[in-house]
Amino acid sequence: MRLFVFLFASVILTGIIQGKTTVVCPDCPVNNFMRAAFIAAPHDTIIVKSGTYPSINSIITKPMTIIGENYPVIDGRGRDEVILVYSDSVTISGLHVRNSNRGSMKDYAGIRVFQSKQVSILNCKLENVFFGIYLSDSKQVLVKGNHSKGANYGKSDTGNGIHLWKCDSVTVLDNYMEGHRDGIYFEFAKHCHIEKNLAEKNYRYGLHFMFSDDDTYVNNTFRNNGTGVAVMYTKRVNMFNNVFENNWGDAAYGLLLKDIGNSVIEGNVFRNNTIGVTMEGSSRMRFENNDFTRNGYGLRIWANCTQDTFVHNNFSGNTFDASTNGQLQQNIFNYNYWDKYTGYDLDRDKIGDIPYKPVSLYSMLIEQMPYAVMLLRSFMVDLLDKAEKNIPSITPEAFEDKFPLMNMIKR
């Protein structure tokens, strides 16, 4: 990553040194942004002073640097797309891009990057755009410090904040996405690094990816999105220290893992979600040092998940720690803390002497008869659960933590 930054920096520097600089302002000889981008020679620098400039499909076909000062407004006037990058080695920074067209015919974008390499989109503001930043068929792109607010049209009529299709080695850093369909959307985007982004109040997912292997997600926050974060059909994903919180609603979850394999989920916080993590057909996953706090369900793991390992996680304040939809259970739970554990620790090794069964009879009943959720926390349900704990008959017997910790792991 550092290497990329160095490369990008040197590209910018060479641009400034080698090319000539054009200043665009409302009273300058060049007062048209579209024209400035068109006439610039390779490796030129365009400095855009504050003002409002119409920009309908401004096409950048040469390597260049565009620097906005005091966020000049680049206005697409709702006609088509706003800025299109069709060249390698382009840097765009400090622009306020707004008013792309919208609709179902085409994925109109605020800034589109197509078949390019070594492009940087830095510190731009995007407003009232269908898609924010749209990268396709591109490599080695840096998207950093941007702030994108989707056009407020509702779920069906909004595009994604940062959208990647068939990309490689893209770094997405320090961005903010709000009011889009998906905050960040990846399809066939490999070897990417996603760090310190905040996606909130998006209509569907904070983060949504498919077929995007070998990506790493660090220190991101996905909060209060329509249905949380959904990731599918992908291998070798690393998710470290992210926060998934406040995703409430019918079938909402912190994180949905569908057909994910060989991935590591570590140090994340799942807090106040209807379901903390829901897993379908996901195998050889490692969950370590995560906190599942105050979710409706901490973990919902389908019976088709195998060889997953859960170690050193904290489960506290969840209505149900875990639930599953079948008798089969082929995953390993060890050394987790469960606040509902009522066992004892006679040998004082801080590990409970009897196993903990996170799946209650009642949570299994709800799977069968969803309306029974009405009986939650009733005396009768408590009695049933207690009876089932002692004589398991319906809950999967193998679903247990053999070494439940007595105390919550301090982070």
Partner 1 sequence: MFKIAKYVVYDILRSKVLIAYTVFLLGISLSLFSLEEDASKSIVSLMSVVMIIVPLVSIVFSTTYFYNAYEFIELLVAQPLSRTTILLGKFTGVAFSMLTAFFIGVGVPVLIYSPNATGFVLLQSGIGLSLVFISLAFFSSVATRDKAKGIGLSLMLWFFFSVIYDAIILGVLFAFSDYPLEKAVIALASLNPIDLGRIMILMKLDISALMGFTGAVYKKFFGTGFGFFYTTGIMLLWIVVPQLVSLRIFRKKNL
Residues that bind partner 1 (CB under 8 A): 248-252, 272-275, 294-297, 316-317, 319-320, 339, 365-366, 368-383
Q: Specify the residue, 1 or 369, whose C-beta has the smaller distance to partner 1.
A: 369
Only one residue has tokens 């606040």, namely 339
Q: Are 151 and 103 in contact (CB under 8 A)?
A: no
DSSP at 359: B
Distance CA 212, CA 109 (A): 21
Question: Least CB distance from residue 390 to partner 1, whole Å?
Answer: 18
Q: Specify the residue, 42 or 326, whose C-beta has the smaller distance to partner 1.
A: 326
Helix (H) or strand (E) holding 280: strand 275-280
Burial of 155 (0-12, 13-18, 19+ CB in 10 A): exposed
Question: Least CB distance from residue 316 to partner 1, whole Å?
Answer: 8
Q: Specify the residue, 164 or 252, whose C-beta has the smaller distance to partner 1.
A: 252
Helix (H) and strand (E) counts for the chain?
4, 39
Chain-centre distance for alpha carbon 292 = 18
Question: Least CB distance from residue 340 to partner 1, whole Å?
Answer: 10
Distance CA 177, CA 184 (A): 8
Q: Are 290 and 243 in contact (CB under 8 A)?
A: no
Question: Least CB distance from residue 272 to partner 1, whole Å?
Answer: 6
Question: Least CB distance from residue 223 to partner 1, whole Å?
Answer: 14
Question: Least CB distance from residue 379 to partner 1, whole Å?
Answer: 5
Q: Specify the residue, 266 or 388, whose C-beta has the smaller distance to partner 1.
A: 388
HSE, CB side, 13 Å, CA atoms: give it for residue 218. Answer: 8
Q: Specify the residue, 91 or 225, whose C-beta has the smaller distance to partner 1.
A: 225
Q: Specify the residue, 353 or 382, whose C-beta has the smaller distance to partner 1.
A: 382
HSE, CB side, 13 Å, CA atoms: give it for residue 402. Answer: 4
Residue type at 349? D
Q: Are 267 and 291 in contact (CB under 8 A)?
A: no
**Beta-bridge mates of residue 277:** 255, 299
Question: Least CB distance from residue 348 to partner 1, whole Å?
Answer: 19
Q: Specify the residue, 151 or 252, whose C-beta has the smaller distance to partner 1.
A: 252
Q: Specify the residue, 6 or 344, whose C-beta has the smaller distance to partner 1.
A: 344
Only one residue has tokens 């969840």, namely 318
